[in-house]
Amino acid sequence: MDIIRQQPQQLISEADLADIDEAVRKYLRAQHAGNTQRAYISDCKIFAAWCQAHGLQPLPASPETVVRFLSAEAEDGLSSQTLVRRRAAIRWLHEKADHASPTLAPIVKQAMAGIVRTIGLAPRRKKSPVIDDYLQLMLDQVDDSTLTGLRDRALLLLGFGGAFRRSELVAIEVDHLQWQGPRGVKGVAVTIPKSKTDQDGRGQVVAVLNGKRFRPVDALRAWLQAAEIASGPVFRGVTRAGTLRKAALCDHFVAHIVKRYATLAGLDPAVFGGHSLRSGFVTTGIIHDVNLFKIMDVTRHKNVQTVRGYAVIAELFKNHAGVNFM
């Protein structure tokens, strides 16, 4: 995938957004849209939102953009079937808008074949959540004497405490932060300009509590102060020599950080991914009997059934029949 990272990002314009919004609205007005077409429309909206969040052009999209998108979705645990449909939806949208489809490019076909070989055609098991106890084990491995360690601690804690998607996490900038209380002692309000569930780009605000146990806001302030970051991206790369980079981390790097500390903590890195911090917040909340709607205030889920999906495994261990004799 190095070739993908080397491609210059093409910033999306308001005109481009208007084009894709109008295209989607046009197809939504169709009176007899079938289930497949409705699924395509949903997939196209997700693709457009992802492109905007990454500063890439959705219509017409480049083959490299499609590969990056499909790879990111695969890393988030989507099944091969869903990814095949996502690719078909992107082709459908381009054909409807009279653009050549980037999905026909050899690089897209090769990437899709590689994804199918890697994760198979069977429904894929979702990545495991980083629940609070796992998070503590990971944090115990962080070296706070280095810039990289301070960044990683802040990233793990903010990702968990705000239940952020990895694309949202790396897109946070300093001016998105509003400290609550003196020096953020209470928490921080994080504005997300664009996200997967905010298709219109109206912006969403996530309240991250500093709390008593993990204190993510303290970790965030420690990182910003040590790195002397006063503006721009919050989470950036650090060279081996300890020099801070100017650009934001790639969203794939979130999964790398999670897996790295899972390994150091003696956990199986293969079962964790970039989504594990977000799912970890939800699952931990359910384990601690937090009201689902309060959890949704943080996660910004619109459908309670989606959140209940996280509860299945957590509920199996509550009031277990063997609690008194196992």
Active site residues: 165, 196, 275, 278, 301, 310
Which residues fall within 8 angstroms of residue 301, CB to CB, at 6 or more apart?
A: 197, 295, 307
Token pair listed for 119: 């994760």
Q: Report which residue type is found at 305.
A: Q
Within 13 Å of residue 295, how many CA atoms lie on the same side as its CB? 26
CA dihedral sign, ordered 194, 235, 221, 274: positive
Count CB atoms within 10 A of the CB of residue 192.
Answer: 23
If 0-12 CB within 10 Å is exposed, 13-18 middle and 19+ buried, where does residue 225 land?
Answer: exposed
Kindly compute the dihedral angle of the four CA atoms of residues 17, 23, 29, 31, in this order, to the nearest 10 degrees.
-150
DSSP line for 192-247: ESSBTTBTT---EEEEEE-TTTT-HHHHHHHHHHHHT--SSBSSEEE-TTSPEEEE
**For residue 179, what are the β-bridge partners?**
188
On whether the CB atoms of residues 237 and 228 are closer than 8 A, the answer is no
Q: For residue 112, report the phi and psi dihedrals to the nearest 5 degrees.
A: -65, -40
On whether the CB atoms of residues 86 and 47 are closer than 8 A, the answer is yes
